[in-house]
Amino acid sequence: MIVPPVKTAVAGNVARLTLNRDERMNSFDGDTARAIVDAVEAFAADDAVRVLVVGSEGRAFSAGGDFDWVLTWPGLDAITRRVGADAMMGAVQAIYDFPKPSIARVHGSAVGGGVGLMLACDFAVASSSARFGLTSVRNGLLAGIAIPVLIEAVGPRLARQLLMHGGMFDAETALRIGLVDQVVRGDKLDETVATLAHELTLGAPSVQRLIKELIRELDARPHDDEAADLIGEHVATQCTTEEALEGMQAFLDKRKPRWAS
């Protein structure tokens, strides 16, 4: 029986994307990367999905790129090697571009590209026993797929340190430097993720989508009059939307808005 590298499920408003390669420490090869992209795109198109949870089966969150796969690259032509690299980059980018809230459920270890996959999510909740590392430098490799989201998470100076040092560190250190957002006991991990997912369904979907778009756009430009104009335009427009009118009326009526589960 062929075991799929990624499992997907939707329960209520929450979609789950679960890496399913425990025998490979949930590392990803080209097939796994493409399966991640396909799943994320399907969830993005499903209006019933409000939140995405990215997790894994077995011993680890993800060991990043599959070494057995990457070891075949030196014998390939440059174009084929680039296709492989782009597949891994594409998996992280698909999660980063997901237009709805996303949560990484992290247990075991998150290493190299696995850290990139985690940081592509909007939130990261980790088990207290989880361990982290950008170890590629110690294997003569570049943890390239983690670099953009790592810089966004911890800043350029600390990103340089983590990438050049290549050592492993614990969950409390990951929390202190801003790599994860919450650290909980292993037996509380699923409960904590479920609570956060529910809390995220209380926000208006159109506003959450707009927030993700605006933060990305504003982060790429200086804080100037153009940025203020852009925000002002969206603020003025959003208050006329159906969700805004419903949300304000629900507040006045002392009830939940229609989108809140």
In this predicted model, what pLDDT tens digit does every residue of 249-258 receive, in sequence order?
A: 887 888 988 8
Structural domain boundaries in the chain = 6-200, 205-253
Task: Tell me the pLDDT band of 227, cut-offs 50, 70 and 90.
Answer: low
* CA distance from start to end of the chain: 38
Give the residue among 30, 27, 148, 6 at the shortest CA–CA distance from 86: 30
In this predicted model, what pLDDT tens digit does every residue of 120-161 receive, in sequence order?
A: 999 999 999 999 999 998 888 888 888 999 999 999 999 999
DSSP output for 220-257 = TS-SSHHHHHHHHHHHHHHTTSHHHHHHHHHHHHTS--
Cα 87 to Cα 4: distance, rounded to the nearest angstrom: 17
Both tokens assigned to 216: 């990305």
Could you tell me if 88 and 139 are in contact, meaning their C-beta atoms sit under 8 angstroms apart?
no
Helix (H) or strand (E) holding 218: helix 205-219
**Range 6-200: architecture per CATH:** Alpha-Beta Complex (3.90)
Both tokens assigned to 245: 């009118």
Cα 94 to Cα 103: distance, rounded to the nearest angstrom: 14
Between the CA of residue 207 and those of 195, 200, 204, 230, 234, what are the distances in Å?
20, 12, 5, 15, 10
Q: What is the pTM of this model?
A: 0.90
In this predicted model, what pLDDT tens digit does every residue of 163-205 receive, in sequence order?
A: 999 999 999 999 999 999 999 999 999 999 999 999 999 999 9
- Partnered with residue 234 across adjacent β-strands are none
Between the CA of residue 125 and those of 54, 151, 228, what are the distances in Å?
10, 19, 33
Torsions phi, psi for 66 (to 5 deg) = -75, 115
